[in-house]
Amino acid sequence: MSKFIITNVVSSADLEDCVLCHTQTSVLKQTPIQERRFYVEGAGQLCEGCYKETYGK
């Protein structure tokens, strides 16, 4: 019989929402801003779609 140990469970409350469209991103709230993709200083976390729509590719 195999045993599984789950050590890191991520809930939706742990993830950032896009500041424009309010969809959930895959970025953890605890992730430092220097390590985030699609983060805009002074605005906040964007999803990939909103970032590309606003700032281009």
For 25-35, how does the pLDDT look when each residue is reduced to its tens digit (9 = 90+)?
999 999 999 99
b vs e for 29-54, b when ≥16 Cβ sit within 10 Å of the residue's Cβ? eeeeeeebebbbeeeebbbeebbeee
Taking every pair of C-alpha atoms in the chain, what is the biggest distance, in angstroms?
52
Q: Read off the pLDDT band of 22 (50, 70, 90).
A: very high
In DSSP terms, which residues pair with 24 in a beta bridge?
17
Res 45 pLDDT > 90: yes
pLDDT at 1 over 70: no
Domain locations in the chain? 12-55
Determine the 3-state secondary structure of 22 from DSSP. Answer: coil
In this prediction, residues 6-17 reach a mean pLDDT of: 84
Better-scored residue on pLDDT, 6 or 29: 29
